[in-house]
Amino acid sequence: MAQHQDATTKDPLPGSTGWNYFDRQRLRFSARWKPTDNFTADYSYDVGRDASTPFYSQLLNYNPLNMPIGPATGTLPAGTVRPLPPLVQVQGRTAAFRLPTSTSAATARS
């Protein structure tokens, strides 16, 4: 099995992998040997590797239907949306700050 996803959010720091990236690979092998009716030997091997970067969440869009902005508090009239709080900003597909993102790879065997 293999799963791969390129970074969904670019890290502006040069040389960084980006956010929400993953590359997962897994291999499983099993065998059964039954030389007689009284003896059965089962063998199984499983190995996996996961290289990923942390999840980064940011607001990419606000009010895509261009609905009228209603009041920040109280009853919200039909067909309106609440305004964004002053600290919340809409970002693009590049992270708002630079932080080294490199994959953390883990290998598991059983």
pLDDT per residue as tens digits for the range 71-98: 999 999 999 999 988 877 776 666 666 6
Better-predicted residue by pLDDT, 103 or 15: 15
- Are residues 63 and 50 part of one domain? no
- Are residues 64 and 23 part of one domain? no
Q: Please name the residue that has the structure tokens 């997962």.
A: 24
Beta strands across the sheet bearing 2-5: 2-5, 22-36, 39-52, 104-109
Domain that holds residue 13: 1-58+96-110
Question: Distance (Å, rounded) from C-alpha 19 to C-alpha 98?
Answer: 11
Number of other residues whose CB lies within 10 A of the CB of residue 56: 19
pTM of the model: 0.49
Mean predicted confidence (pLDDT) in 56-81: 85
User: Residue 55 has what pLDDT?
Assistant: 79
User: Residue 76 has what pLDDT?
Assistant: 92
Domain total in the chain = 2
- Are residues 103 and 87 part of one domain? no
Mean predicted confidence (pLDDT) in 58-68: 79
Q: Which of helix, strand or coil describes residue 81?
A: strand
- Are residues 106 and 87 part of one domain? no
